[in-house]
Amino acid sequence: MSKFNEFKNLSVLYAEDDFELREITTKTLQLVVGHVFSVTDGTEALSVYENNRIDIVILDIHMGSVSGIDVAKTIRKSNDKVPIVIVSGSIATQDLLEACKLNLIEYMHKPIEFNALIKVLYLAVDRLKSQGMLIAKINDSVSYDYFAKAFIHAEGEISVLTKNEINAMELLLAHRGQVVTYETFSNVLEEEMSDGALKNLILRIRKKLRDDGNLRNLAKVGYMLT
């Protein structure tokens, strides 16, 4: 679906406890976005959110002990910008009152129709762009564009990254200022890497980044992006 190229690098967290609805909507999302984290309850949703880069959050409102509203409230304590969508089979006044406080981009009815889902994704992308959430400044000379999966240099040059380079760079950005251990890299990257292969991967990133000291190696421990 080339007309939805704008969504191809998005990472969506989708939480729904109804198996059939979750399967249908997950498959629909997989047609248009780059990655879908599909979970069954609020506890799992929070775990996925805390351990991955998530661009858009879509939550069923009623999911047992930890509801979609509970998840949204927890996310909003640390992030008031990430686009959040609440989905419900019915609209209760109290639910609406709670949802209105959470800066949602949409409150949707189940089952989610394809056109409605696409509309919400466009709204989310507009929100991400307007709030600068798709760009991470590395230093005064270069930024990382989450949408293009590339380094954008001050003079306008673009350095596109490979899949492993993207995964490694986004891992470093997610833990900026902290050491990312060799073991963590091994767990996140899709192919098992020797220490030498990881070193070469980081060297390639540094070359594209034109690193002036932001990407540091801590011997026998890991790497840190400052």
Q: How far is CA 156 from the centre of its chain?
A: 25
Residues 22 and 70 in one domain: yes
Domain that holds residue 201: 135-225
Domain end call among 97, 130, 163: 130
Say whether both 99 and 150 belong to one domain.
no
Distance CA 175, CA 170 (A): 9
pTM, to two decimals = 0.73
Phi and psi, residue 107, nearest 5°: -120, 110
Question: Which positions ≥6 away from 213 have C-beta within 8 Å?
Answer: 226
Residue where a domain terminates, one of 99, 130, 161: 130
* Same domain? 26 vs 51: yes
Using a 10 angstrom Cβ sphere, with 0-12 exposed, 13-18 middle and 19 or more buried, the burial of residue 185 is: buried
Same domain, 43 and 75: yes
- Among the three residues 81, 113, 130, which one is the final residue of a domain in this structure? 130
Residues 125 and 146 placed together within one structural domain of the fold? no
Is 116 within 8 Å of 32 (Cβ atoms)? no
Identify residue 106 by its one-letter amino acid code. E
15 and 92 inside one domain:
yes
Q: Verify that 89 and 154 share a domain, yes or no.
A: no
CA distances from 134 to 34, 151, 214 (A): 14, 12, 20
Q: How many domains does the chain have?
A: 2
Judgement on whether residues 140 and 126 belong to the same structural domain of the protein: no
Q: Give residue-wise pLDDT tens across range 10-66.
A: 899 999 999 999 999 999 999 999 899 999 999 999 999 998 889 999 999 988 889
pLDDT recorded at residue 131: 84
Instruction: Give the model confidence (pLDDT) of 132-180 as tens digits.
Output: 788 889 999 999 998 888 999 998 899 999 989 998 998 899 889 999 9
